[in-house]
């Protein structure tokens, strides 16, 4: 699985073509098709420059190949081209989903959580201390800091006060926390 470098050559050598370049695959089982087109799946992983999660993309490629096998219509063109587009499409779709997930759900470190509130003492941080870490925050991000941290308001309350959807408030929060952590690290590094 780790060697993806010679995918195209094996893929083309393993294909059985008629004179009109239409692959005779209809009489083959899905297992035979998966084995025959496995190098093409690996080649797509290389062409998309996937370095992390190759095994996951390999499985997604096999699922895409299975979908191509199920949906193929010989009247619309040759199977290899259809299979390649389907496999690549599934992989690109997964890449978009991963990017969207990463954008929406940023992990908050323990340092940030400790910075925001010390739950052991129950005493909120002083306004001046909090604001000292707010350099570079936008107006909206400062509004989130004021409402959420200083005034201890819930997401829905902030959304109602600011007149924007909750997902906007979440993005303000994510960026504010990211910038505040960066400021915190810079201040305590020196």
Tens digit of pLDDT for each residue in 27-77? Answer: 678 888 889 999 999 999 999 998 888 899 999 999 999 999 988 888 888
Domain boundaries, the chain: 7-104, 110-189
Q: What's the gap between Cα 38 and its chain centre?
A: 24
Alpha helices in the chain (DSSP H): 7-14, 30-47, 54-71, 79-104, 110-116, 127-132, 139-144, 155-162, 166-189
Distance, in Å, from the CA atom of 143 to the CA atom of 53, rounded to the nearest integer, reads 38
The CATH class for the domain spanning 7-104 reads mainly alpha
- Architecture per CATH, 110-189: Orthogonal Bundle (1.10)
Alpha helices in 78-165 (DSSP H): 79-104, 110-116, 127-132, 139-144, 155-162
What pLDDT does 122 receive?
Answer: 46
pTM for this entry:
0.48
């Amino acid at each position: 699985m780790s060697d993806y470098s010679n995918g195209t050559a094996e893929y083309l050598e393993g294909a059985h073509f008629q004179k009109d370049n239409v692959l005779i695959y209809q009489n083959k089982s899905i297992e035979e098709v998966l084995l025959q087109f496995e190098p093409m799946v690996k080649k797509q992983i290389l062409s998309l420059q996937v370095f992390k999660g190759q095994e996951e993309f390999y499985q997604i490629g096999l699922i895409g190949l299975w979908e191509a096998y199920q949906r193929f219509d010989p009247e619309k063109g040759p199977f290899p081209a259809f299979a390649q587009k389907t496999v690549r499409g599934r992989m690109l779709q997964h890449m978009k989903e991963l990017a969207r997930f990463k954008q929406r759900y940023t992990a908050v470190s323990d340092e940030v959580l400790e910075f925001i509130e010390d739950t052991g003492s129950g005493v909120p941080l002083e306004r001046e201390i909090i604001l000292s870490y707010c350099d570079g925050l936008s107006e909206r991000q400062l509004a989130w800091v004021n409402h959420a941290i200083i005034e201890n308001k819930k997401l829905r309350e902030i959304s109602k006060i600011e007149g924007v959807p909750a997902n906007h408030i979440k993005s303000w929060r994510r960026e504010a926390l990211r910038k505040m952590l960066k400021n915190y690290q810079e201040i305590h590094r020196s």
